[in-house]
Amino acid sequence: MAVTDTAQTARAAGAPELLEPSPGQLLRRRIFGHAGLLIGAVVLVTIFLMAILAPWLAPHDPYDQVLERKLIPPVWFDDPKATWDHILGTDALGRDYLSRLLYGARISLLIGFAAMLISGVIGTTIGVLAGYFGGRVDMVANFIITTRLSMPVVLVAIAVVSLVGSSLTVVIWVLGLLIWDRFAVVMRSATMQVRDLDFVASAQALGCSTPRILLTEIMPNIVNNLIVVATVEMAHAIILEAALSFLGMGVQPPEPSWGLMISEAKGLMFFEGWLIFIPGIALFMLVLAINLLGDGVRDVTAPEGRN
């Protein structure tokens, strides 16, 4: 048999090596092609900026009560009281709703982020250690996770806050110490998948210390999962804080927590519906943006998982 030039043949067939983009290009392409990811990121960044720039953006002091100006509806209402001075209207104590909304964003973002960090550290530590060492460590970790999962989060959070006293710090710590379970579960299974791969085995064979292996070999490969869970839990924390504040067991008045604003407007909602609608929409959009971002990150970093 005569020998044919394989490379020539391959090139004639449109060989792949000339057409493949680099991994960086691929990632960038995927990110910008993903509508959900972009929308989520844009909205989140906007809310974040609004929160940071609140002192400059807010037209009024959010704590300033002007009782003569109470219950003014937003500008788009067909009402003589509506005024551009209070674009989103005022609440029952005459406080400007737009200003409270902007400052409320700070509370939600702060608590969401801080609680996510605390629970992330706790959960990831438990999960990675359980996944890497297996055996008894795993058994104990699973037991702890199961115990935590067996306790009703909202109920315990409310009970603890009622006993210890409610403040921003307390809420952050209570949430952080309660919502770490998903971090633990996801990071555990991610670690288990990576632990058995060859490059880990070679690092072990080289005599690398365990902390080093965990940090340099395992962690970089499970960071994708971490980011996705982080977004989920941040959203979770934000909703929980809103619920706690709604029940009066979270951030206390006169702070403009969105959940608290909804609670304060509860009795008035039949005639002043916007009072619960506006903070509710704000919460909804913030959580939606975070979820879209998380979903987007997951899709972009592991497209094989999609249909």
Partner 1 sequence: MPERILDVENLSVDIPVPSGMLHPVQDISFHVERGETLAIVGESGCGKSLTSLAIMDLLPSRARRTAAKLELDGRDLSGLSERAMADIRGNRMSMIFQEPMTSLNPAYTIGDQLTEALLRHRDASRAEARQRAVWLLEKVGITGAAGRLRQYPHQLSGGLRQRVMIAMALMCGPDLIIADEPTTALDVTIQAQILHLLADLQREFQTGLILITHDLGVVSRVADRIAVMYAAQIVEEGTAEQIFEAPAHPYTQGLLACIPIPGKTRRGAHLGSIPGIVPSLVGRFQGCHFADRCPHAMARCRADDIAMRAGAEAGHRYRCVLTPEETAANMKRMEAAE
Partner 2 sequence: MFAYILKRLGVAVLVALTVSLITFSMIYLSGDPAVALAGENATQEDIERIRDFYGYDRPIIVQYFDWLFRALQGDFGQSHYLKKPVADVIFDRLPTTMLLGLFALIFALTLSIPLGVLAAIRPNSLIDRVALTIAVIGQAMPSFWFALTLMLWLGVYWQVLPITGSSSWLNFVMPAIALGYYITPAVMRLTRAGMLEVLSTDFIRTARAKGLRPPTVLVKHALRNAIIPVVSLAAVQFGFMLGGSIVIETIFAINGLGFLAWESILRADLPMMQAIVLVLSVFYITLTFIADMLNAWLDPRIRVT
**Phi-psi region at 77: left, alpha or beta (left = phi > 0; alpha = psi -120 to 50):** beta
Give the integer Cα–Cα distance in Å for 182 and 10: 48
* Per CB under 8 A, 1 contacts partner 1: yes
Residue type present at position 278: I
Binding site for partner 2 (CB under 8 A): 143, 146-147, 149-156, 158-160, 162-164, 235, 239, 242-243, 246-247, 249, 259, 262, 266, 269-270, 273, 276-277, 280, 283-285, 287-288, 291-292, 307
Give the integer Cα–Cα distance in Å for 82 and 61: 19
Cis amide linkage into residue 254, ω under 30° from 0: yes
Interacting partner of 249 out of partner 1, partner 2, none (Cβ under 5 to 8 A depending on kind): partner 2
CB 98 within 8 A of CB 258: no
Interacting partner of 158 out of partner 2, partner 1, none (Cβ under 5 to 8 A depending on kind): partner 2
Shortest separation between residue 149's beta carbon and partner 2, angstroms: 7
3-state secondary structure of 19: coil
The pattern of x and - marking residues 138 through 177 that bind partner 1 according to CB under 8 A reads ----------------------------------------
Interacting partner of 4 out of partner 2, partner 1, none (Cβ under 5 to 8 A depending on kind): partner 1
Nearest to 91 by CA among 246, 260, 287: 260
Which CB, 43 or 93, lies closer to partner 2? Answer: 43
Shortest separation between residue 133's beta carbon and partner 1, angstroms: 31
Nearest to 105 by CA among 55, 172, 180: 55
Nearest to 167 by CA among 222, 219, 107: 107
Which CB, 16 or 305, lies closer to partner 1? Answer: 16
Q: What angle do CA 197, 185, 162 make, to 5 degrees?
A: 155
Nearest to 161 by CA among 100, 247, 45: 247
From 4-12, 47-55, 162-170, 216-224, span contacting partner 1 (CB under 8 A): 4-12
Residue 229 CB neighbours (<10 A): 27
Interacting partner of 184 out of partner 2, partner 1, none (Cβ under 5 to 8 A depending on kind): none
Site for partner 1 in 9-38 (CB under 8 A): 9-10, 12-14
Shortest separation between residue 176's beta carbon and partner 2, angstroms: 16
Interacting partner of 2 out of partner 1, partner 2, none (Cβ under 5 to 8 A depending on kind): partner 1
Shortest separation between residue 116's beta carbon and partner 1, angstroms: 38
Q: How many CA atoms lie less than 13 Å away from 20 in the CB half-sphere?
A: 6
- The single residue listed with the structure tokens 């902007």 is 102
DSSP state of 4: P
* Per CB under 8 A, 209 contacts partner 1: no
From 5-13, 50-58, 182-190, 206-214, span contacting partner 1 (CB under 8 A): 5-13
Q: What residue ranges bind partner 1 (CB under 8 A)?
A: 1-4, 6, 9-10, 12-14
